[in-house]
């Protein structure tokens, strides 16, 4: 009768290797180190988010101070002038300025991931903006004027 005793390695199942399998561990640790290094370099070279630091109103202008160069888009909507700053942060603000004796209200509000600057007066507005870098900050100066009635009616 044949017993269950292991004799002279004469059976068909291979003997387990007593050494640990290090290749999987090595590849997993290599992948983890590469991932962490990529995250570190991504954070190191990431540009800071656009942030409105300050807003100042004067007679005909509105000055906005940013931490880096802003990308703005302008649009007219029912007589209001709207500037949209994509992926920008900052606290909501509001104020008034006077343009040719007429009060102009302005408001900075969140609009999803964007900041929206809304300028509203009793007459349609036109804005000309200049961007300058001063002392490591960016100054966006909006010079406002009223649209003349014959603009756009040709």
Domains of the chain and any CATH numbers: 50-146 (2.60.40.3500)
Give residue 154's pLDDT band: very low, low, confident or very high (50, 70, 90). Answer: very low
Burial of 147 by CB count in 10 Å (0-12 exposed, 13-18 middle, 19+ buried)? middle
Interior/surface letters 107-130, b for 16+ CB within 10 angstroms, e for the rest:
ebeeeeeebbbbbbbeebbebebe
Q: Kindly report the average pLDDT of the chain as a whole number.
A: 84
The span from the CA of 107 to the CA of 101, in Å, is 19
Q: Give me the pLDDT at residue 48, please.
A: 84
- The phi, psi pair for 144, rounded to 5°, reads -105, 150
64 or 13, greater pLDDT: 64
4 or 25, greater pLDDT: 25
Q: Give me the pLDDT at residue 111, please.
A: 86
Which is nearest to 53 in space by CA: 28, 81, 88?
88
Give residue 95's pLDDT band: very low, low, confident or very high (50, 70, 90). Answer: very high
Is the pLDDT at 30 greater than 80? The verdict is: yes
């Amino acid at each position: 009768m044949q017993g269950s005793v292991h004799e002279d390695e004469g059976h068909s199942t291979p003997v387990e290797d007593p050494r640990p399998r290090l290749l999987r561990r090595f590849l997993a640790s290599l992948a983890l180190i590469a991932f962490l290094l990529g995250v570190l370099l991504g954070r190191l070279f990431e540009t800071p988010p656009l942030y409105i630091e300050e807003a100042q109103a004067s007679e005909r202008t509105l000055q906005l101070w940013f931490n880096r160069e802003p990308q703005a888009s302008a649009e007219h909507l029912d007589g209001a002038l709207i500037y949209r700053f994509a992926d920008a942060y900052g606290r909501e603000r509001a104020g008034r300025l006077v343009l040719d004796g007429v009060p102009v209200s302005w408001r900075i509000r969140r609009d999803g991931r964007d900041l929206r600057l809304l300028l509203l007066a009793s007459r349609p507005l036109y804005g000309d903006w200049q961007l300058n870098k001063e002392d490591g900050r960016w100054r966006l100066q909006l010079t406002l004027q009223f649209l003349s009635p014959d603009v756009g009616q040709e």
